[in-house]
Each structure stands twice: as structure tokens, then as C-alpha cells.
Amino acid sequence: MAITKEKREQITKLLEEHVPWRTIKQLAKCGEGTIMSIRDEMVRKGFDEDKEISIKLSRVSVLALGKLEEAIESGDVKAKDLSVVAGVSLDKRLLLSGRATSRVEHVRSDTAALREQLANVIDIPHVETVPKTAEIPEKTAKTASL
């Protein structure tokens, strides 16, 4: 059965307003296949799919966080799971606010080569290189080989 022009326009308007599909199905008395077909056509014509997904994910996050908050308040979340919930929640909050969510530290044990490279790039007076390994006194070297 073909969909009427009026119903197509109604569904298009609801999709443009980012109304949840469940509500669209009830209001337009149609199935998900019809909604998907109209949505696909809208995307081909330039509908902002990224905005739609962002709005839906935001709704899902808010609903999930509300349910999680209720579960925590009622004591339904086990104590061992609270640290995971707290860590993930904080991480996502920092990410959304543009703050760092991780810290990367680069540690170099041998900086002599780096200092030499920097000395060649930057006009620095001669930099003495540090030996890569400390010299082992002869007595210790003999003991170490036993």
C-alpha cells in the first residue's frame, strides 16, 4: 500500500524535529520500514544525519544516566561496580568538556643521542655525550662473569 503525501509529510516533519521513532509510529500509524524509507530519502536530499545521531545519543545517555542514578540511590548497584561507573562517568564528562581523559608520558633512558640532535638543530655550544653504559671496574667485571 502506497503512503499518502500527507502521511509522508507528517513523518518527514517528525523526523526533522527528531521525534523518537516509537512516537512517530504511534502518531503516523506506520511501521519502522516506512520511517526508514522516508529517512533514507531525507538523507539523500541532505538531511543532517550526524546531528540526528548526536541528538539521539544524547537522549540515550541522559535516560541511561537517570536510570543508573536511581539504581545507585536505591542500592541496586553493587559496591564493586561503583568504581567502574564512577570512572567511566568521569571520563566521559571530561571528554565532553574538552579536558584531558588520559595522560601520556614519554620517558627516555638514553638522552645523549637526543642532546646531540638538538645541538645540531639549535646553536648550542658543544654538548659532551654521556656514555651509554657506565664503565664497570675490572674487579667487578671478573666477579660478574663467575
Report pLDDT for 78.
Answer: 84
Question: Which of 73-82, 98-107, 134-143 has the weakest average pLDDT?
Answer: 134-143
Quick one: average pLDDT of 10-30?
96
Quick one: average pLDDT of 11-32?
96
Structural element, H or E, at residue 146: none
* Sign of the C-alpha dihedral computed for residues 140, 141, 144 and 146 taken in this order: negative
pLDDT at 145 over 60: no
List the domain boundaries for the chain.
1-47, 48-78
Structural element, H or E, at residue 93: helix 79-96
